Chains A and B, each alone.
Chain A
Amino acid sequence: MGLSKAAAIVGAAESNEIGYPEVPKTSLDLHIEAIKNVSNQTGIPISAIEGIFSAGQSSEIAEHLGLHPKYIDTTSVGGCSFEIHVHHALLAIYAGVIDVALVTHGENGWSRRRIGAGGGGHYAGGGAGSPGTEMTMSYGFSGAPSNYSHAMVRHNHLYGTTPEDFAHVPVVTRDWATLNPRAVMSSKETHEFGGPITIDDVQNARMISWPLTMLHCCLVTDHGGAVLIAKPEIARSLKTNPVWIAGAGENMSHSNMLEMGDFTATSAFASSHTAYEMAGLGPEDMELALLYDSFSITPALTAEMVGLAPRGKGHLLWKEGHAAPGGRLPMNTNGGGLSFNHSGMYGMQLLVEAYRQLSGTAEDGLNGIKGKQTNARTCIVNGTGGSLSTTGTLVLVADD
Protein backbone atom coordinates (compact mmCIF):
# COMPACT_ATOMS: atom_id res chain seq x y z
CA MET A 1 0.00 0.00 0.00
CA GLY A 2 1.28 3.46 -0.89
CA LEU A 3 1.12 6.63 1.11
CA SER A 4 -2.00 7.75 -0.75
CA LYS A 5 -5.14 6.86 1.25
CA ALA A 6 -2.99 5.37 4.01
CA ALA A 7 -5.20 7.21 6.52
CA ALA A 8 -8.58 8.95 6.64
CA ILE A 9 -10.19 11.77 8.56
CA VAL A 10 -12.85 9.97 10.57
CA GLY A 11 -14.47 12.79 12.52
CA ALA A 12 -14.47 16.58 12.91
CA ALA A 13 -16.15 18.71 15.54
CA GLU A 14 -16.00 22.16 17.10
CA SER A 15 -16.07 23.66 20.56
CA ASN A 16 -19.53 24.06 22.10
CA GLU A 17 -19.58 27.82 21.87
CA ILE A 18 -17.63 29.59 19.14
CA GLY A 19 -17.76 33.14 17.79
CA TYR A 20 -18.35 35.59 20.62
CA PRO A 21 -18.91 33.51 23.77
CA GLU A 22 -20.89 35.13 26.57
CA VAL A 23 -18.33 34.05 29.13
CA PRO A 24 -14.73 34.48 27.84
CA LYS A 25 -13.06 31.26 26.80
CA THR A 26 -9.44 30.28 27.20
CA SER A 27 -7.63 28.62 24.30
CA LEU A 28 -7.28 25.46 26.37
CA ASP A 29 -11.02 25.38 27.05
CA LEU A 30 -11.76 25.63 23.31
CA HIS A 31 -9.35 22.79 22.58
CA ILE A 32 -10.81 20.48 25.20
CA GLU A 33 -14.44 21.04 24.20
CA ALA A 34 -13.66 20.23 20.57
CA ILE A 35 -11.66 17.14 21.54
CA LYS A 36 -14.45 15.87 23.78
CA ASN A 37 -16.98 16.45 20.99
CA VAL A 38 -15.00 14.67 18.28
CA SER A 39 -14.44 11.76 20.65
CA ASN A 40 -18.19 11.51 21.25
CA GLN A 41 -18.92 11.85 17.54
CA THR A 42 -16.60 9.02 16.50
CA GLY A 43 -16.83 6.78 19.53
CA ILE A 44 -13.04 6.82 19.73
CA PRO A 45 -12.17 7.28 23.41
CA ILE A 46 -9.71 10.03 24.24
CA SER A 47 -7.51 7.38 25.82
CA ALA A 48 -6.99 5.82 22.34
CA ILE A 49 -5.27 8.93 21.00
CA GLU A 50 -1.61 8.13 20.32
CA GLY A 51 -0.41 11.24 18.52
CA ILE A 52 -1.13 14.92 19.27
CA PHE A 53 -0.79 17.60 16.61
CA SER A 54 -1.40 21.26 17.49
CA ALA A 55 0.07 24.64 16.69
CA GLY A 56 2.38 24.85 19.68
CA GLN A 57 0.33 23.54 22.62
CA SER A 58 0.63 19.77 22.25
CA SER A 59 2.40 19.01 25.51
CA GLU A 60 0.00 21.07 27.60
CA ILE A 61 -3.00 19.52 25.88
CA ALA A 62 -1.64 16.01 26.35
CA GLU A 63 -1.01 16.70 30.03
CA HIS A 64 -4.47 18.22 30.48
CA LEU A 65 -5.95 15.03 29.02
CA GLY A 66 -3.69 12.83 31.12
CA LEU A 67 -2.25 11.24 27.96
CA HIS A 68 1.30 10.00 27.30
CA PRO A 69 1.39 10.25 23.50
CA LYS A 70 4.08 8.55 21.49
CA TYR A 71 3.95 11.10 18.69
CA ILE A 72 4.05 14.82 19.52
CA ASP A 73 3.93 17.49 16.81
CA THR A 74 3.69 21.19 17.59
CA THR A 75 4.36 22.57 14.11
CA SER A 76 3.25 26.19 14.25
CA VAL A 77 3.71 27.95 10.95
CA GLY A 78 0.58 30.05 10.72
CA GLY A 79 -2.93 29.30 9.58
CA CYS A 80 -1.87 26.41 7.36
CA SER A 81 -0.41 24.51 10.32
CA PHE A 82 -3.42 22.20 10.53
CA GLU A 83 -3.23 21.02 6.93
CA ILE A 84 0.45 20.34 7.57
CA HIS A 85 -0.51 18.43 10.72
CA VAL A 86 -2.75 16.19 8.59
CA HIS A 87 0.17 15.52 6.27
CA HIS A 88 2.43 14.65 9.19
CA ALA A 89 -0.26 12.46 10.75
CA LEU A 90 -0.68 10.63 7.44
CA LEU A 91 3.05 9.88 7.42
CA ALA A 92 3.06 8.74 11.05
CA ILE A 93 0.09 6.41 10.51
CA TYR A 94 1.48 5.12 7.21
CA ALA A 95 4.73 4.31 8.95
CA GLY A 96 2.90 2.39 11.64
CA VAL A 97 4.10 4.59 14.48
CA ILE A 98 0.56 5.49 15.56
CA ASP A 99 -2.97 4.38 14.68
CA VAL A 100 -4.96 7.38 15.92
CA ALA A 101 -3.94 11.03 15.55
CA LEU A 102 -5.60 14.09 17.07
CA VAL A 103 -5.28 17.41 15.24
CA THR A 104 -6.61 20.13 17.54
CA HIS A 105 -7.18 23.86 17.52
CA GLY A 106 -8.18 26.27 20.28
CA GLU A 107 -7.68 29.99 19.81
CA ASN A 108 -9.57 32.68 21.71
CA GLY A 109 -9.13 35.44 19.14
CA TRP A 110 -12.05 37.38 20.59
CA SER A 111 -12.03 36.41 24.25
CA ARG A 112 -8.37 37.31 24.57
CA ARG A 113 -9.34 40.97 24.32
CA ARG A 114 -11.02 40.54 27.69
CA ILE A 115 -8.89 37.91 29.37
CA GLY A 116 -5.55 37.90 27.52
CA ALA A 117 -4.05 35.66 24.87
CA GLY A 118 -3.17 32.86 27.23
CA GLY A 119 -6.60 33.32 28.68
CA GLY A 120 -6.86 35.84 31.40
CA GLY A 121 -3.92 37.45 33.03
CA HIS A 122 -1.22 39.99 33.08
CA TYR A 123 1.67 37.81 34.15
CA ALA A 124 4.44 36.47 31.93
CA GLY A 125 3.22 34.15 29.25
CA GLY A 126 0.08 36.08 28.54
CA GLY A 127 -2.22 35.04 31.30
CA ALA A 128 -4.41 32.42 32.83
CA GLY A 129 -5.89 29.65 30.80
CA SER A 130 -2.89 27.56 31.65
CA PRO A 131 -4.10 26.28 35.00
CA GLY A 132 -0.89 24.32 35.57
CA THR A 133 1.15 27.50 35.30
CA GLU A 134 -1.38 29.44 37.34
CA MET A 135 -1.13 26.99 40.23
CA THR A 136 2.69 26.92 40.31
CA MET A 137 3.68 30.53 39.55
CA SER A 138 3.34 31.82 43.11
CA TYR A 139 6.08 29.81 44.75
CA GLY A 140 9.41 31.33 43.82
CA PHE A 141 10.62 28.75 41.31
CA SER A 142 13.31 30.19 39.04
CA GLY A 143 13.72 27.95 36.06
CA ALA A 144 14.91 24.41 35.52
CA PRO A 145 17.41 23.97 38.39
CA SER A 146 14.80 24.94 40.97
CA ASN A 147 12.67 22.02 39.81
CA TYR A 148 15.23 19.31 39.01
CA SER A 149 16.59 19.54 42.55
CA HIS A 150 13.33 18.01 43.82
CA ALA A 151 13.98 14.91 41.69
CA MET A 152 17.42 14.41 43.22
CA VAL A 153 16.04 14.71 46.76
CA ARG A 154 13.39 12.13 45.94
CA HIS A 155 16.03 9.81 44.43
CA ASN A 156 18.15 10.21 47.58
CA HIS A 157 15.11 9.31 49.68
CA LEU A 158 14.06 6.25 47.66
CA TYR A 159 17.44 4.74 46.87
CA GLY A 160 19.75 5.98 49.63
CA THR A 161 21.87 7.95 47.19
CA THR A 162 23.58 11.22 48.09
CA PRO A 163 24.32 14.45 46.24
CA GLU A 164 28.00 13.44 46.33
CA ASP A 165 27.12 10.32 44.35
CA PHE A 166 25.78 12.53 41.58
CA ALA A 167 28.81 14.86 41.75
CA HIS A 168 30.74 12.17 39.88
CA VAL A 169 28.71 13.02 36.77
CA PRO A 170 30.11 16.55 36.33
CA VAL A 171 33.62 15.42 37.33
CA VAL A 172 33.75 12.66 34.68
CA THR A 173 32.01 14.81 32.09
CA ARG A 174 34.63 17.52 32.66
CA ASP A 175 37.32 14.93 31.93
CA TRP A 176 35.71 14.42 28.52
CA ALA A 177 35.61 18.19 27.99
CA THR A 178 39.36 18.40 28.48
CA LEU A 179 39.67 16.24 25.33
CA ASN A 180 37.45 18.58 23.29
CA PRO A 181 39.11 21.89 22.38
CA ARG A 182 35.71 23.36 21.45
CA ALA A 183 34.34 22.68 24.93
CA VAL A 184 33.76 25.85 26.94
CA MET A 185 35.36 24.23 29.99
CA SER A 186 38.10 22.38 28.13
CA SER A 187 41.02 24.08 29.87
CA LYS A 188 42.19 27.20 31.65
CA GLU A 189 42.73 28.64 28.18
CA THR A 190 39.11 28.22 27.15
CA HIS A 191 37.66 29.41 30.45
CA GLU A 192 38.92 30.83 33.72
CA PHE A 193 37.36 27.85 35.54
CA GLY A 194 38.07 25.26 32.81
CA GLY A 195 40.09 22.08 33.13
CA PRO A 196 39.68 19.10 35.46
CA ILE A 197 37.52 19.37 38.61
CA THR A 198 37.13 17.31 41.79
CA ILE A 199 34.17 16.12 43.84
CA ASP A 200 35.04 18.81 46.40
CA ASP A 201 34.98 21.46 43.67
CA VAL A 202 31.49 20.34 42.70
CA GLN A 203 30.13 20.11 46.24
CA ASN A 204 31.69 23.40 47.38
CA ALA A 205 30.52 25.42 44.38
CA ARG A 206 27.88 28.09 44.87
CA MET A 207 24.52 26.60 45.86
CA ILE A 208 21.79 27.19 43.28
CA SER A 209 18.95 24.94 44.39
CA TRP A 210 19.94 22.56 47.15
CA PRO A 211 21.23 19.94 46.61
CA LEU A 212 22.32 21.25 43.19
CA THR A 213 25.39 23.47 43.25
CA MET A 214 26.41 25.45 40.18
CA LEU A 215 28.64 22.58 39.01
CA HIS A 216 25.70 20.15 39.09
CA CYS A 217 24.06 22.50 36.54
CA CYS A 218 24.67 22.91 32.81
CA LEU A 219 26.29 25.86 31.12
CA VAL A 220 24.42 28.72 29.46
CA THR A 221 26.09 29.40 26.11
CA ASP A 222 25.44 30.08 22.44
CA HIS A 223 25.16 27.26 19.94
CA GLY A 224 24.05 26.61 16.41
CA GLY A 225 23.86 23.26 14.73
CA ALA A 226 22.24 21.57 11.76
CA VAL A 227 21.82 18.02 10.56
CA LEU A 228 20.98 16.73 7.09
CA ILE A 229 19.06 13.48 6.71
CA ALA A 230 18.66 11.75 3.35
CA LYS A 231 17.38 8.54 1.78
CA PRO A 232 19.87 5.66 1.45
CA GLU A 233 20.64 6.23 -2.25
CA ILE A 234 21.78 9.77 -1.51
CA ALA A 235 23.41 8.83 1.79
CA ARG A 236 25.67 6.33 0.05
CA SER A 237 26.71 8.72 -2.73
CA LEU A 238 28.24 11.47 -0.60
CA LYS A 239 31.80 12.19 0.54
CA THR A 240 30.64 11.82 4.13
CA ASN A 241 29.88 8.51 5.86
CA PRO A 242 26.25 7.86 6.74
CA VAL A 243 25.19 7.20 10.32
CA TRP A 244 22.05 5.09 10.18
CA ILE A 245 18.93 5.87 12.19
CA ALA A 246 18.23 2.36 13.38
CA GLY A 247 15.60 3.26 15.94
CA ALA A 248 13.63 6.24 17.16
CA GLY A 249 10.99 6.82 19.80
CA GLU A 250 9.37 9.68 21.67
CA ASN A 251 7.09 10.09 24.64
CA MET A 252 6.06 12.50 27.37
CA SER A 253 4.86 11.96 30.91
CA HIS A 254 3.88 15.51 31.78
CA SER A 255 4.50 19.14 30.95
CA ASN A 256 4.45 20.74 34.41
CA MET A 257 6.51 18.95 37.09
CA LEU A 258 3.41 19.09 39.27
CA GLU A 259 2.15 16.21 37.10
CA MET A 260 5.28 14.04 37.37
CA GLY A 261 3.94 10.98 39.16
CA ASP A 262 7.31 9.43 40.05
CA PHE A 263 10.08 11.99 40.37
CA THR A 264 12.68 9.30 39.66
CA ALA A 265 11.18 8.02 36.40
CA THR A 266 10.97 9.70 33.00
CA SER A 267 9.30 8.86 29.71
CA ALA A 268 12.72 7.77 28.40
CA PHE A 269 11.64 4.33 29.59
CA ALA A 270 8.91 4.33 26.92
CA SER A 271 10.77 6.26 24.21
CA SER A 272 13.86 4.05 24.47
CA HIS A 273 11.72 0.92 24.39
CA THR A 274 10.23 2.04 21.07
CA ALA A 275 13.66 2.92 19.70
CA TYR A 276 15.29 -0.36 20.75
CA GLU A 277 12.42 -2.36 19.33
CA MET A 278 12.65 -0.60 15.97
CA ALA A 279 16.41 -1.12 15.90
CA GLY A 280 16.29 -4.74 16.96
CA LEU A 281 18.93 -3.84 19.51
CA GLY A 282 18.97 -3.48 23.28
CA PRO A 283 20.84 -1.51 25.91
CA GLU A 284 23.49 -4.26 26.10
CA ASP A 285 24.36 -3.50 22.45
CA MET A 286 25.12 0.18 23.00
CA GLU A 287 28.80 1.13 22.81
CA LEU A 288 28.31 4.86 23.37
CA ALA A 289 25.62 6.82 25.23
CA LEU A 290 24.81 10.47 24.77
CA LEU A 291 22.27 11.34 27.44
CA TYR A 292 21.13 14.94 27.85
CA ASP A 293 22.89 16.28 30.94
CA SER A 294 21.06 19.44 31.89
CA PHE A 295 21.86 18.60 35.51
CA SER A 296 23.84 15.80 37.14
CA ILE A 297 20.59 14.02 38.00
CA THR A 298 19.34 14.01 34.39
CA PRO A 299 21.71 11.55 32.67
CA ALA A 300 21.87 9.35 35.78
CA LEU A 301 18.09 9.01 35.84
CA THR A 302 18.03 8.57 32.08
CA ALA A 303 20.61 5.77 32.25
CA GLU A 304 18.20 3.94 34.57
CA MET A 305 15.29 4.54 32.22
CA VAL A 306 17.02 3.41 29.02
CA GLY A 307 18.26 0.20 30.59
CA LEU A 308 21.94 1.04 30.99
CA ALA A 309 21.71 0.70 34.78
CA PRO A 310 19.25 -0.72 37.33
CA ARG A 311 16.83 1.64 39.11
CA GLY A 312 18.65 3.68 41.74
CA LYS A 313 22.10 2.88 40.35
CA GLY A 314 22.50 5.12 37.29
CA HIS A 315 25.08 7.30 39.04
CA LEU A 316 27.40 4.29 39.43
CA LEU A 317 28.24 4.44 35.71
CA TRP A 318 30.12 7.66 36.48
CA LYS A 319 31.19 6.90 40.05
CA GLU A 320 32.81 3.60 39.03
CA GLY A 321 34.42 5.14 35.94
CA HIS A 322 32.51 3.21 33.27
CA ALA A 323 31.36 6.42 31.59
CA ALA A 324 34.81 8.03 31.74
CA PRO A 325 37.50 8.17 29.05
CA GLY A 326 38.78 4.61 28.77
CA GLY A 327 35.67 3.16 30.43
CA ARG A 328 33.49 0.38 29.05
CA LEU A 329 30.61 2.70 28.15
CA PRO A 330 31.78 6.17 27.12
CA MET A 331 29.14 8.78 27.83
CA ASN A 332 28.72 12.40 26.80
CA THR A 333 32.06 12.37 25.04
CA ASN A 334 31.87 16.01 23.93
CA GLY A 335 31.92 17.21 27.53
CA GLY A 336 28.14 17.40 27.75
CA GLY A 337 25.84 20.21 28.57
CA LEU A 338 27.72 20.40 31.84
CA SER A 339 31.11 21.31 30.33
CA PHE A 340 30.95 21.48 26.51
CA ASN A 341 28.04 23.71 25.62
CA HIS A 342 24.40 24.17 26.63
CA SER A 343 22.39 26.86 24.90
CA GLY A 344 19.02 26.13 26.51
CA MET A 345 17.97 23.31 24.19
CA TYR A 346 20.90 20.90 24.00
CA GLY A 347 19.42 18.23 21.74
CA MET A 348 21.27 19.44 18.64
CA GLN A 349 24.61 19.24 20.41
CA LEU A 350 23.82 15.57 21.06
CA LEU A 351 23.19 14.94 17.37
CA VAL A 352 26.38 16.66 16.26
CA GLU A 353 28.43 14.62 18.74
CA ALA A 354 26.72 11.36 17.77
CA TYR A 355 27.59 11.99 14.11
CA ARG A 356 31.15 12.95 15.07
CA GLN A 357 31.73 9.74 17.00
CA LEU A 358 30.00 7.32 14.63
CA SER A 359 30.79 8.69 11.16
CA GLY A 360 34.52 9.21 11.24
CA THR A 361 34.04 11.98 8.70
CA ALA A 362 32.82 14.86 10.82
CA GLU A 363 36.24 16.49 10.58
CA ASP A 364 35.23 17.70 7.14
CA GLY A 365 32.61 20.02 8.61
CA LEU A 366 33.19 23.28 10.43
CA ASN A 367 32.07 21.69 13.70
CA GLY A 368 34.22 18.65 13.15
CA ILE A 369 36.86 18.05 15.75
CA LYS A 370 39.81 15.86 14.98
CA GLY A 371 40.39 12.85 17.14
CA LYS A 372 37.19 10.99 17.74
CA GLN A 373 37.46 9.51 21.19
CA THR A 374 35.69 6.21 20.71
CA ASN A 375 35.47 3.42 18.20
CA ALA A 376 31.82 2.91 18.99
CA ARG A 377 29.63 1.42 16.27
CA THR A 378 26.34 1.93 18.11
CA CYS A 379 25.05 4.85 20.11
CA ILE A 380 21.96 5.68 22.12
CA VAL A 381 21.02 9.35 22.10
CA ASN A 382 18.39 10.56 24.54
CA GLY A 383 17.13 14.12 24.70
CA THR A 384 15.14 15.26 27.72
CA GLY A 385 12.97 18.37 27.58
CA GLY A 386 11.01 20.54 29.97
CA SER A 387 11.08 19.48 33.62
CA LEU A 388 12.06 15.84 32.99
CA SER A 389 8.89 15.97 30.87
CA THR A 390 9.47 14.90 27.29
CA THR A 391 11.99 12.54 25.78
CA GLY A 392 13.22 11.57 22.34
CA THR A 393 15.46 8.54 21.94
CA LEU A 394 17.54 7.53 18.90
CA VAL A 395 19.50 4.38 18.32
CA LEU A 396 22.20 5.22 15.78
CA VAL A 397 24.50 2.79 14.01
CA ALA A 398 27.72 3.41 12.10
CA ASP A 399 27.96 2.43 8.42
CA ASP A 400 29.37 -1.02 7.65
Chain B
Amino acid sequence: MSYNKPIPTPSPLTQPFYDGAKEGKLLLPRCQDCNRVHWYPRHICPFCHSVNIDWIEGSGEGRVHTFAVQHRAFGGWAEEVPFVTAYIDLNEGDRMVTVLRGVDANDPASIRIGAKVKVEFDQASEDIHIPFWRVVEE
Protein backbone atom coordinates (compact mmCIF):
# COMPACT_ATOMS: atom_id res chain seq x y z
CA MET B 1 0.00 0.00 0.00
CA SER B 2 1.35 3.40 -0.87
CA TYR B 3 2.16 5.88 1.87
CA ASN B 4 -0.87 8.13 2.36
CA LYS B 5 0.42 10.77 4.78
CA PRO B 6 2.25 14.08 4.23
CA ILE B 7 5.71 13.61 2.72
CA PRO B 8 8.26 16.42 3.11
CA THR B 9 10.14 17.81 0.14
CA PRO B 10 13.85 18.29 0.86
CA SER B 11 15.58 21.59 0.27
CA PRO B 12 19.33 21.81 -0.39
CA LEU B 13 19.69 22.44 3.35
CA THR B 14 17.89 19.29 4.45
CA GLN B 15 18.86 16.85 1.66
CA PRO B 16 21.72 15.25 3.65
CA PHE B 17 19.26 14.24 6.37
CA TYR B 18 17.20 12.24 3.88
CA ASP B 19 20.30 10.73 2.33
CA GLY B 20 21.16 9.43 5.80
CA ALA B 21 17.62 8.32 6.57
CA LYS B 22 17.63 6.24 3.39
CA GLU B 23 20.50 4.26 4.90
CA GLY B 24 18.76 4.01 8.27
CA LYS B 25 20.98 6.65 9.88
CA LEU B 26 19.74 9.57 11.96
CA LEU B 27 21.94 12.45 10.84
CA LEU B 28 21.96 15.56 13.01
CA PRO B 29 23.40 19.02 12.30
CA ARG B 30 26.29 19.98 14.58
CA CYS B 31 28.12 23.28 14.82
CA GLN B 32 31.85 22.86 14.23
CA ASP B 33 32.64 25.90 16.37
CA CYS B 34 30.56 25.35 19.53
CA ASN B 35 30.02 21.60 19.03
CA ARG B 36 26.33 21.77 19.86
CA VAL B 37 23.73 19.74 17.99
CA HIS B 38 20.59 21.57 16.92
CA TRP B 39 17.31 20.42 15.47
CA TYR B 40 15.69 21.39 13.04
CA PRO B 41 18.45 21.98 10.43
CA ARG B 42 19.69 25.56 10.20
CA HIS B 43 21.65 27.75 7.83
CA ILE B 44 23.33 29.15 10.93
CA CYS B 45 23.99 27.80 14.42
CA PRO B 46 21.20 29.14 16.65
CA PHE B 47 23.54 29.07 19.66
CA CYS B 48 26.74 30.80 18.44
CA HIS B 49 25.82 32.02 14.92
CA SER B 50 28.60 30.16 13.20
CA VAL B 51 27.84 28.94 9.68
CA ASN B 52 30.27 26.03 9.97
CA ILE B 53 27.79 23.23 10.38
CA ASP B 54 28.27 19.59 9.47
CA TRP B 55 26.25 16.42 9.94
CA ILE B 56 26.98 13.73 12.47
CA GLU B 57 25.34 10.37 12.91
CA GLY B 58 23.20 10.43 16.04
CA SER B 59 22.69 7.55 18.46
CA GLY B 60 19.05 7.29 17.45
CA GLU B 61 18.11 7.25 21.12
CA GLY B 62 16.33 9.71 23.36
CA ARG B 63 13.64 10.25 25.98
CA VAL B 64 9.98 11.33 25.86
CA HIS B 65 9.79 15.01 26.87
CA THR B 66 6.00 15.35 26.64
CA PHE B 67 3.15 13.81 24.67
CA ALA B 68 -0.54 14.03 23.80
CA VAL B 69 -3.14 11.76 22.21
CA GLN B 70 -4.68 12.98 18.98
CA HIS B 71 -8.35 12.14 18.56
CA ARG B 72 -8.85 14.31 15.53
CA ALA B 73 -6.66 14.43 12.43
CA PHE B 74 -6.82 14.97 8.71
CA GLY B 75 -5.84 13.12 5.54
CA GLY B 76 -4.15 9.77 6.03
CA TRP B 77 -3.73 10.39 9.74
CA ALA B 78 -7.51 10.53 10.22
CA GLU B 79 -7.56 6.74 9.77
CA GLU B 80 -5.11 6.29 12.64
CA VAL B 81 -6.88 8.11 15.49
CA PRO B 82 -6.36 7.89 18.36
CA PHE B 83 -2.57 8.09 18.07
CA VAL B 84 0.13 9.50 20.34
CA THR B 85 2.32 12.45 19.36
CA ALA B 86 5.42 13.29 21.37
CA TYR B 87 8.41 15.55 21.64
CA ILE B 88 11.66 13.63 22.03
CA ASP B 89 14.75 14.85 23.89
CA LEU B 90 17.66 13.54 21.83
CA ASN B 91 20.64 12.08 23.65
CA GLU B 92 22.75 14.52 21.64
CA GLY B 93 20.67 17.51 22.81
CA ASP B 94 17.74 19.46 21.35
CA ARG B 95 14.42 17.93 20.42
CA MET B 96 12.48 16.20 17.66
CA VAL B 97 8.77 15.60 17.19
CA THR B 98 7.17 12.28 16.30
CA VAL B 99 4.20 10.00 16.31
CA LEU B 100 5.14 7.75 19.21
CA ARG B 101 5.11 4.00 18.80
CA GLY B 102 5.10 1.19 21.32
CA VAL B 103 2.45 2.87 23.49
CA ASP B 104 -1.31 2.45 24.05
CA ALA B 105 -3.18 5.54 22.85
CA ASN B 106 -6.28 4.38 24.70
CA ASP B 107 -4.46 4.35 28.01
CA PRO B 108 -2.54 7.64 28.25
CA ALA B 109 -1.93 7.12 31.98
CA SER B 110 0.36 4.23 31.01
CA ILE B 111 2.63 6.48 28.92
CA ARG B 112 5.62 7.80 30.81
CA ILE B 113 7.45 11.10 30.37
CA GLY B 114 11.14 10.22 30.39
CA ALA B 115 10.58 6.84 28.73
CA LYS B 116 13.48 5.62 26.59
CA VAL B 117 12.88 5.72 22.84
CA LYS B 118 14.67 4.58 19.69
CA VAL B 119 14.31 5.84 16.17
CA GLU B 120 13.07 3.85 13.20
CA PHE B 121 12.36 4.91 9.64
CA ASP B 122 9.32 4.49 7.41
CA GLN B 123 9.82 4.51 3.67
CA ALA B 124 7.34 7.10 2.37
CA SER B 125 8.56 7.27 -1.23
CA GLU B 126 11.53 6.09 -3.26
CA ASP B 127 13.85 8.67 -1.72
CA ILE B 128 12.12 9.88 1.44
CA HIS B 129 12.36 7.93 4.69
CA ILE B 130 10.66 9.50 7.70
CA PRO B 131 11.88 9.00 11.27
CA PHE B 132 9.50 7.75 13.96
CA TRP B 133 10.32 6.99 17.59
CA ARG B 134 9.35 3.91 19.58
CA VAL B 135 9.33 3.38 23.34
CA VAL B 136 11.75 0.58 24.24
CA GLU B 137 12.88 -1.30 27.36
CA GLU B 138 15.33 0.51 29.64
We find that the number of chain B residues with CB closer than 8 angstroms to chain A is: 47
Residue A321 lies at the interface, judged by CB distance under 8 Å to chain B: no
Which of A140-148, A196-204, A281-289, A309-317 is the contact stretch?
A140-148
The answer for the CA separation of A257 and B87 in the assembled complex, in Å, is: 9
**Residues of B with C-beta under 8 A to A145:** 72
> Contacts of B113 on A, CB cut-off 8 Å?
153-154, 157
- SS of A interface (majority): mixed
Cβ–Cβ contact A207 & B83, under 8 A = no
**Is residue B119 contacting chain A, with contact meaning CB distance below 8 A?**
no
Partner of B39 from the list A23, A135, A151 (CB cut-off 8 Å) is A135
Does chain A have a CB within 8 A of B14? yes
Interface residues in A27-71 (C-beta closer than 8 Å to B):
28-29, 32-33, 35-36, 39, 45-47, 63-66
A161 at the interface (CB under 8 A from B): no
Instruction: State A78–B124 Cα separation when bound (angstroms).
Output: 38
Beta-carbon contact of B12 and A24 below 8 Å: yes
Produce 1/0 per residue, A16-32, CB < 8 A to B.
Answer: 00000001111011001
A119-143 contacts to B, CB under 8 A, are 119-123, 127-129, 131-132, 134-142
A6 near B: Cβ within 8 Å? no
| Complex partner residue of A129 from B11, B80, B83, CB under 8 angstroms | B11
Complex contact B87–A150 (CB within 8 A): yes
User: Is B9 part of the contact surface with A, judged by Cβ < 8 Å?
Assistant: yes
Chain B interface mostly helix, strand, loop or mixed?
loop
A186 within 8 A of B: no
A120 contact from B9, B40, B45, B80, Cβ within 8 A: B9
Cβ–Cβ < 8 Å partners of A116 in chain B = 9
Interface: A272 (CB within 8 A):
no
Q: Is A208 an interface residue (CB 8 A)?
A: yes
Q: How far is the CB of B35 from chain A (nearest CB, A)?
A: 15
Task: Write out the residue numbers on chain A whose beta carbons fall within 8 Å of the beta carbon of B77.
Answer: 140, 142
In chain B, positions 87-122 with a C-beta closer than 8 Å to chain A are: 87, 95-99, 108, 113
Provide the residues of chain A in CB contact with B8, threshold 8 Å: 121, 123, 128, 134-135, 137-138
Q: Is B97 within 8 A of A134, CB to CB?
A: no
Chain A residues engaging chain B, CB cutoff 8 angstroms: 23-26, 28-29, 32-33, 35-36, 39, 45-47, 63-66, 115-116, 119-123, 127-129, 131-132, 134-142, 145-146, 149-154, 157, 206-212, 256-258, 263
* Top-9 shortest CB links A-B: A66-B46, A121-B9, A140-B77, A149-B68, A210-B69, A128-B11, A154-B66, A32-B43, A135-B40
